Amino acid sequence: MKLFILKELISSLLYSKVRTVFGVLGILFGVVSLVLIVAAIEGSSLQAKKVIEKLGPDSVLIISGSVKRGPRSSFQNLSLKDVAQIQKLEGIFALTYGIVKPTMISNGENPKFSSVFGVGENWFTSWNYRIELGRGFTEEDFRELRKVAVVGHDVSDFFWPGKNPIGKIILVGKTPLKVVGVYEKKGKTPNGHNLDNRLFTPYRVFDKTIEKTYDKVSVIRFRVLNLNDYDRIVEETRKILLRNHKPDEFMIITPVVVKKFLSMLSATLALFLGIASLTALVVGGFVLSSIFYVNVYTREWEVGLRKALGATKKEVTYFFLSESLIVAVISSVAGSLIGILAIKWILPKLNIPVVYPIKAFIIAPLFAVAVSLFAVYFPARKAAGFEPVRALRKKA
């Protein structure tokens, strides 16, 4: 009996193929958008955690520019004078600084565009860069202005694929640098910058052979020995910088600031994108309701026949609700599958980690079913109220 009813429900949906397809699409888009949006939010949260982990809980980062003017908008705001004054603070270690120039590098044959950094001592310690091959910079490298370089895997693999790059010569403009080390793979930043396509050389070597710096730097970074002193040290650093610069000439970035900003961003995204996805589902519900209203009137004779054969108002209502339930299930399954494909294809293009949120695959179908049943309830009640004799006359 149940199998017969199911076949009859499917036959009714297939009889009105176009209306059924529009009903499915109306709910399907809502399911896809909800799944994709939740995945984007969870992926962004995961990315935020990774950013904070990379930054380090004990680190303080200072960069040129501001939120209003943009990072590095005044590229050479910071200076070695700032570095020297910050160096005197108690409770800090691994203080370093650097300046960067995007430029062409070469092994004498093939050119490659890369980010070339002139850095101070402790750079790799401060940034938690592990030297995977060769060595980092020594005191002698800085003191004797040795023309040496530490490169990322992308640089090494481009110029010397499958070979040991240690001891090889790399050209920055006309300046030859000897490769002494390769650091571990670091991947990409949240905004897509390749951390493995970089070359580092001592600051004074950069200044004298690549580009004159005039004692300016674009970034300063240090770490705090005791986290209990963290807030005090950040405030003292701010006072030093304010003595030398205007407030909009620098930004102090800490894990707390990053976490607060990313939490606010995630909450805003969750609110607006959540509203957008729920709106899509509700609109899909209205579409489904309109389709079923039309469907009810085009099937008035069928309803009259069912009631003439003994079907009650309740049974007629359940019949149409069952049809909407089938539409919701089909939409949910198809929407979830398309959502998976959308997550796999879209999120990597946005540099967001791929996440398949289980709760979205549960909530979206349940919400789709609820919207579908609610949307079709009133058309179903309308059909249940048809008078059999009047409805049968429609056929005549």
| Position 390 confidence tier, pLDDT thresholds 50, 70, 90 | low
Residue 178 half-sphere exposure toward CB, CA atoms < 13 A? 11
Q: What pLDDT is recorded for position 153?
A: 96
What's the rounded Cα separation, in Å, for the pair 13 and 22?
11
pLDDT tens string 38-87: 888 888 777 777 777 777 788 999 998 754 544 444 456 899 999 999 99
CA distance 321 to 183: 63
pLDDT of residue 302: 65
Angle value at C-alpha 177, between 174 and 178, nearest 5 degrees: 150
Q: By the 8 A CB rule, do 94 and 125 touch?
A: yes
pLDDT tens digit sequence for 289-299 = 777 766 666 66
Q: Which two tokens stand for residue 374?
A: 């609610």
**Cα gap 42→36, rounded to integer Å:** 10
Q: What share of the chain has pLDDT > 90, as a percent?
A: 40
Q: Where do the H-state alpha helices sit in 224-357? A: 230-244, 255-298, 300-308, 313-349
Give the dihedral sign, CA 287/289/291/294: negative
Provide the pLDDT for residue 144.
96
- What length does the chain have? 396
> Which conformational region is residue 161 in: left (phi greater than 0), alpha (psi within -120 to 50 degrees), or beta?
beta
pLDDT over 70 at 314, yes or no:
yes
CA 356, CA 236: separation in Å to the nearest integer?
44
